[in-house]
């Protein structure tokens, strides 16, 4: 009896140990400018296979329409929404010129490298600015991040990839990028990788909703299949578990499918594929957005985010336990009504409600937060006196046990950012 007991115990603990020692790694792919309806109606056997074992979510870009978080449905702002987990009013990238990104809102590569320098990061990209400007590789202001593996710049090599009038060269570059990614993932298995693919957007601009765009999505599907095969290989041959996140940076206009940048439903509506079924109540609630990807990646990598960063994130993790979402702050007569949607399962969970009257984070400084109250999560609201807190500007932070969300109170009549002035 005792021997059987010991045997069982040793089997059990071996199983536990091997499960615990599997390293978590992430690959995220941005495939440019594919509206949700286009992806959903395309023949995509590889992507559908990943969805069958994972999760497909409709999502959005563009911030909250008509508010201070509204962000153009343009490529570089979209990538930076994902990289920083914040909208344009924080990361300050408003178009593809990427004039003055605010690097105080740290990207996911920097957050990983600053806390866990031994982790390896990789970029495979059909647009060099993604590395040099958005992540800001090697820039002191951006934290001197260095990629361990980088494959990009092919669009500048007009000998190997001559620029043809039909923009088919971007397909050739995407193919090169994916081949390098698949090879590097198989052999080097970096901890966090970004694959960026451009051809779908080029075909959208050139031909709109068309056979050419559908063909480009079919190319993408085959490329995703190559990446997925590399991840399967690693999962089977190394003690590693992999999360693949596949998404797009914006939709396209409804009339022709050629343009994007505005706030129409089709431009704002995007999608997310996650290679896991284990999504949380927030994800299942519908309407996640591109800024949810950073906290999702951090959680999968078991990367704790600094408190100051958590207080600035505009997203909510899509996996793991979650406390609350949808923060709202409304002046109501002599009081300020702060409310949220409770998602946590625990009846005893509490929320700390904080306020800061400054925004020093924007320039690299600390903000002093005052605790306004600690209330049961399920109450979903707190009202405070405007006499006690008369300021016109507050950053209100709602800190649950499992995640933190925030909302700004702005002076009445404040212009929404993003009109190009900053
Ligand atoms: Zn784009």
Distance CA(319)–CA(299), nearest Å, equals: 7
Measured in Å, residue 253 CA sits from the centre of ligand 1 at 12
Tell whether the model's pLDDT for residue 44 goes beyond 70.
yes
**DSSP run (H or E) holding 335:** strand 335-342
Structure tokens at 241: 């578990």
Confidence band of 417 (pLDDT split at 50, 70, 90) = low
Q: Which domains does the chain have, with CATH numbers?
A: 21-310 (3.40.720.10), 324-409 (2.60.40.10)
Measured in Å, residue 33 CA sits from the centre of ligand 1 at 5
Q: Convert the pLDDT of each residue in 167-182 to its tens digit.
A: 999 999 999 999 999 9
Structure tokens at 82: 């994902």
Confidence band of 19 (pLDDT split at 50, 70, 90) = low
Tell whether the model's pLDDT for residue 340 goes beyond 80.
yes
Please choose, from the candidates 393, 387, 388, the residue with its C-alpha nearest in 3D space to the C-alpha of residue 414: 393
Confidence band of 4 (pLDDT split at 50, 70, 90) = very low
How many CB atoms are located within 10 Å of the residue 66 CB? Answer: 9
Give me the mean pLDDT over the 47-59 stretch: 98
Please choose, from the candidates 186, 185, 221, the residue with its C-alpha nearest in 3D space to the C-alpha of residue 200: 221
Residue 217 phi, psi (nearest 5): -65, -35
Q: Convert the pLDDT of each residue in 289-309 to its tens digit.
A: 999 999 999 999 999 999 999
Structure tokens at 17: 């140990």
Residue linked to tokens 């007569």? 333
Measured in Å, residue 213 CA sits from the centre of ligand 1 at 14
Distance CA(349)–CA(342), nearest Å, equals: 10
Beta bridge partners of 223: none
Give me the mean pLDDT over the 341-358 stretch: 94
Measured in Å, residue 10 CA sits from the centre of ligand 1 at 53
Secondary structure tally for the chain: helices H, strands E: 14, 14
Confidence band of 418 (pLDDT split at 50, 70, 90) = low
Residue 195 phi, psi (nearest 5): -110, 125
- Kindly state the greatest CA–CA separation across the chain: 77
Measured in Å, residue 371 CA sits from the centre of ligand 1 at 41
Tell whether the model's pLDDT for residue 365 goes beyond 90.
yes
Measured in Å, residue 64 CA sits from the centre of ligand 1 at 19
Measured in Å, residue 274 CA sits from the centre of ligand 1 at 20
Mean pLDDT taken over the chain = 94
Measured in Å, residue 139 CA sits from the centre of ligand 1 at 24
The side-by-side arrangement of strands in the sheet containing 381-385 is 324-332, 335-342, 381-385
Measured in Å, residue 293 CA sits from the centre of ligand 1 at 17
Residue 60 phi, psi (nearest 5): -140, 160
Measured in Å, residue 32 CA sits from the centre of ligand 1 at 5
Measured in Å, residue 250 CA sits from the centre of ligand 1 at 6
* pTM summary value: 0.94
Measured in Å, residue 154 CA sits from the centre of ligand 1 at 18
Measured in Å, residue 91 CA sits from the centre of ligand 1 at 17
Structure tokens at 42: 């395309």
Determine how β-strand 370-376 pairs with β-strand 192-197. unpaired
Structure tokens at 154: 């092919």
Measured in Å, residue 79 CA sits from the centre of ligand 1 at 8
Measured in Å, residue 74 CA sits from the centre of ligand 1 at 6
Distance CA(128)–CA(137), nearest Å, equals: 11
Give 189-247 as a DSSP string.
Answer: --SEEEEEE-HHHHHHHHHSSSHHHHHHHHHHHHHHHHHHHHHHHHHHHSSEEEEEEEE
Find all residues with CB under 8 Å of 246, minimum gap 6, and list them: 28, 29, 31, 47, 50, 224, 272, 273
């Amino acid at each position: 009896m005792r021997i059987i007991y010991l045997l069982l115990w040793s089997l059990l603990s071996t199983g536990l140990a091997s499960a615990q020692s599997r390293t978590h790694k992430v690959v995220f792919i941005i495939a440019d400018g594919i509206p949700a309806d286009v992806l959903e109606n395309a023949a995509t056997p590889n992507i559908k296979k990943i969805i069958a074992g994972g999760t497909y979510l409709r999502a959005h870009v563009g911030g909250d329409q008509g508010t201070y978080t509204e962000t153009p449905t343009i490529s570089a702002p979209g990538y930076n929404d994902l990289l920083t987990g914040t909208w344009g009013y924080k990361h300050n990238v408003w178009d593809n010129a990427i004039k003055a990104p605010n690097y105080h809102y740290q990207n996911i590569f920097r957050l990983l490298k600053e806390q866990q320098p031994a982790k390896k990061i990789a970029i495979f990209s059909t647009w060099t600015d993604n590395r040099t400007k958005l992540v800001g590789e090697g820039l002191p202001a951006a934290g001197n991040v260095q990629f361990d593996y980088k494959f990009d710049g092919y669009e500048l090599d007009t000998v190997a990839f001559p620029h043809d009038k039909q923009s088919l060269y971007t397909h050739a570059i995407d193919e090169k990028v994916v081949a390098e990614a698949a090879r590097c993932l198989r052999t080097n298995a970096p901890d966090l990788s970004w694959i960026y693919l451009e051809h779908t957007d080029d075909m959208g601009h050139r031909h709109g909703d068309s056979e050419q765009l559908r063909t480009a999505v079919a190319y993408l599907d085959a490329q995703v299949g190559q990446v997925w095969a590399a991840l399967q290989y690693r999962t089977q041959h190394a003690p590693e578990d992999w999360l693949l996140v596949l998404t797009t940076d914006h939709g396209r206009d409804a009339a022709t499918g050629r343009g994007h940048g505005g706030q129409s439903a089709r431009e704002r509506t995007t999608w997310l594929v996650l290679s896991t079924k284990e999504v949380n109540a927030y994800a299942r609630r519908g309407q996640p957005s591109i800024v949810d990807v950073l906290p999702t990646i951090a959680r999968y990598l078991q990367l704790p985010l600094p408190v100051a960063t958590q207080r600035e994130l505009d997203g909510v993790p899509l996996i793991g336990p979650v406390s609350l979402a949808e923060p709202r702050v409304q002046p109501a007569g002599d009081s300020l009504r702060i409310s949220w949607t409770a998602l946590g399962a625990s009846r005893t969970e509490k929320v700390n409600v904080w306020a800061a009257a400054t925004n020093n984070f924007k320039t690299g400084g600390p903000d002093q937060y005052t605790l306004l109250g600690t209330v049961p999560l399920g109450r979903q609201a707190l009202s405070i006196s405007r006499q006690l807190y008369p300021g016109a500007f507050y950053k209100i932070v709602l800190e649950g046990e499992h995640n933190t969300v925030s909302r700004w109170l702005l002076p009445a009549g404040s212009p929404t950012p993003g009109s190009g002035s900053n």
